Amino acid sequence: MERKKTKGRQKIPMKKIENKDSMFATFTKRREGLYKKSSELATECNVDIGIMMISPTCKPHSFFHPTVDAVISRF
């Protein structure tokens, strides 16, 4: 039996989200997902991790494990 030929996973072109509400919702979802993954990485691998990002409304957001001082002192 012959296999069906597929294109595989397609690359989605990057483009700016013009709708403000969609942009804020997307940022919030991505931020929460990134925080969750970072927390899992920090606890499972016992590593120090720090993330800093700026929202579309220019508000700073950060995540550090275990503390800001512990992560920054390593650099």
> pTM score, two decimals?
0.72
Domain 23-72: state its class: alpha beta
Q: Average the pLDDT over 50-70 and give the result.
A: 93
pLDDT of 50 = 94
Q: Average the pLDDT over 11-17 and give the result.
A: 90
How many Å apart are CA 38 and CA 47, to the nearest integer? 10
Long-range contacts from 30-39, C-beta under 8 angstroms, 24+ separation: 31/55, 31/61, 34/63, 35/63, 38/63, 38/65, 39/63, 39/65
**Is the predicted pLDDT of residue 2 greater than 70, yes or no?**
yes
Which of the two residues, 5 and 38, has the higher pLDDT score?
38
Query: Could you tell me the residue ranges of all domains in the chain?
Result: 23-72
pLDDT of 1 = 63
Residues contacting 24, CB < 8 A, separation 6+: 55, 56, 57
Residue 31 pLDDT level (bands cut at 50, 70, 90): very high
